[in-house]
Amino acid sequence: MSVRRLYDEQPESFAFTPENQAWAREQIAKYPDRRQASAVISLLWRAQEQAGGWLPEPAIRHVADMLSMAYIRVYEVATFYTMFNLAPVGRYHVQLCGTTPCWLRGADDLKAVCRKVIGEQNRPTEDGTFSWVEVECLGACVNAPMVQINKDYYEDLDAESFERLLADLKAGKSPAPGPQIDRINSAPEGGPQTLVEPDLYNGNYARLWAKSKGKAGDEGEAKDAPAPKAEPATKTAQATKTAPAKAAETASGGDDAAKQRKPRGLKAPRKAGADDLKLISGVGPKIEGLLNDLGIYHYDQIAKWGEEEVAWVDDYLRFKGRIAREGWIGQAETLAKGGETEFSRRKAKKGS
Ligand code: FES
């Protein structure tokens, strides 16, 4: 990290606005007597926001006075943390992580983009749009390389996506923060890579065993196969409010198979068109197609499923317990009422 010094040109003075002053007093009051110094970071942060993204030296003194701290102690805090900018920054201030995981995954390429698009570190562009600085690990190493721009993280970048991101910001767009590749948070790119064998996580070891011996086909149990373990189905059922234990048991076949019921489908979507079933977590394009084949096109159809329908569809999709595990019924109820789920919100944000 480069040496962090106060900026050459400083304003004459700094004082919190009346609103910020009141807010600062509230923060200080949260701490016990003689422990008010604990509010130093939050006050410095508010001062930085008020000053337009950087921390002038008079602001550091102002905070020190409010907290009855020696100036040098507040300087130490302000100069230690890279979250405090000691010189003016651009409207979009890029903090580029250059620590080992990000460096191994291409942080140097991102640095080259910064130099090309923005210029040298710690110097805002002439129009004041951008500035950048290299910082140490920002704690998103699993999605390396990454940058923080103002308060948002942009992850899984490469030179091309980063340059596009900067161009979008410059054009006034609001690119979605988070991973810039096809994955959710730090989940594997392109979807799950483990536990993708339904029989394995459904506990249908008998069928797996039979397959491995080249005996039975897709259905049924081999005569001399070991008995399937019931535990995963039980766990699945306990983990859900929408599909009780019976549904999970039913989907496992056997005596309870009669308790399955095929859901009623429509011949075609309603006039307004089919709902995007992919807004339900766990429904991808393939499963949406299979549901459409059943005449299921709308959230409210799924919302009405009872245990028997859930069990039937579980079996049909050959993903026993998935509907319960992902909470399809609850999600469908929310979406049918025009609401949003955590998943649909994330998806919409990613697609915007
Ligand atoms: S190394 Fe870059 S976020 Fe941790």
For ligand 1, is residue 106 a contact (CB within 6 Å)? no
Whether 38 maps to a domain, the answer reads yes
In terms of C-beta distances under 8 Å and separation of at least 24 residues, what long-range contacts does 44-47 make, across chains too? 44/74, 44/77, 44/78, 44/84, 45/83, 45/84, 46/16, 46/20, 47/14, 47/16, 47/20
140 with 40, same domain: the answer is: no
137, 142, 148, best to mutate for ligand 1 pocket (most atoms within 8 Å of CB):
137
99 lines ligand 1 (CB under 6 A): yes
| In-domain check, residue 244 | yes
Q: Look at residues 206, 164, 156 and name the one whose alpha carbon lies nearest to residue 182.
A: 156
Asked, for residue 3, whether it belongs to a domain, the answer is no
Are 64 and 42 part of one and the same domain? Answer: yes
Dist. CA 352–CA 350, nearest whole Å: 6
**Does 146 share its domain with 67?**
no
Which segment of 16-30, 42-56, 91-105, 174-188 scores lowest on mean pLDDT? Answer: 174-188
pLDDT class of 41 with cuts at 50, 70, 90: very high
In a domain, 181, yes or no: no
Is 163's pLDDT higher than 70? Answer: yes
Domains in the chain, number = 4
Residue 61 in contact with residue 71, Cβ under 8 Å?
yes
> If you average pLDDT over every residue of the chain, what do you get?
84
Do 100 and 138 lie in one domain? The reply is yes
Residues 104 and 66 in one domain: no
Measured from the CB, is residue 140 less than 6 Å from ligand 1? yes
Cα gap 224→209, rounded to integer Å: 10
From residue 119, give the alpha-carbon distance in Å to each of 96, 122, 124, 128, 249. 14, 9, 8, 12, 63
Q: Does one domain contain both 216 and 255?
A: no
The conformation of residue 152, written as its DSSP 8-state character, comes to E
Q: Give the model's pLDDT for residue 191.
A: 76
CB atoms within 10 A of CB 8: 6
The answer to whether residues 246 and 322 belong to one domain is: yes
Going from the Cα of 158 to the center of ligand 1, the distance in angstroms, rounded, reads 14
- Could you tell me if the CB of 89 is within 6 A of ligand 1? no
- Do 131 and 73 sit in the same domain of this protein? no
Question: From the CB of 97, is ligand 1 less than 6 Å away?
Answer: yes
CA-CA-CA-CA torsion sign (272, 275, 276, 279): positive
For residue 9, being part of any structural domain is answered with no
Decide which of 290 and 210 is more confident.
Answer: 290
Model pLDDT, residue 104: 97
Q: Is 66 in the pocket of ligand 1 (CB under 6 A)?
A: no
Is residue 177 a part of any domain in this protein?
no
What pLDDT does residue 36 have?
A: 94
Pair of tokens at residue 11: 């304003």
Residue of 291, 298, 234, 247 lying closest to 272 (CA atoms): 298
Side-chain half-sphere exposure of 143, counting CA atoms within 13 A: 23
What is the Å distance from ligand 1's center to 345 Cα?
27
- pLDDT band of 26, cuts 50, 70, 90: very high
Residue 347 shares a structural domain with residue 277: yes
Give the Å distance between the CA of 105 and the centre of ligand 1.
Answer: 10
Same domain, 107 and 146: yes
Query: Do residues 327 and 251 share a domain?
Result: yes
- Paired with 149 in beta bridges are 94, 152
Which atom of ligand 1 is nearest to 101's Cα? 1
In terms of domains, do 275 and 247 share one? yes
pLDDT at 203 over 70: no
Q: Residue 221 has what pLDDT?
A: 40
> Could you report the per-residue pLDDT of 78-90, keeping only the tens digit for each?
999 989 999 999 9
Q: What is the pLDDT at residue 208?
A: 63
Q: Which of 104, 109, 138 to mutate to test the pocket of ligand 1 (most atoms within 8 A of CB)?
A: 138
The pLDDT > 90 percentage for the chain reads: 62
Range of lowest pLDDT (240-244, 268-272, 280-284, 312-316): 240-244
- Give residue 152's domain range: 96-116+124-162
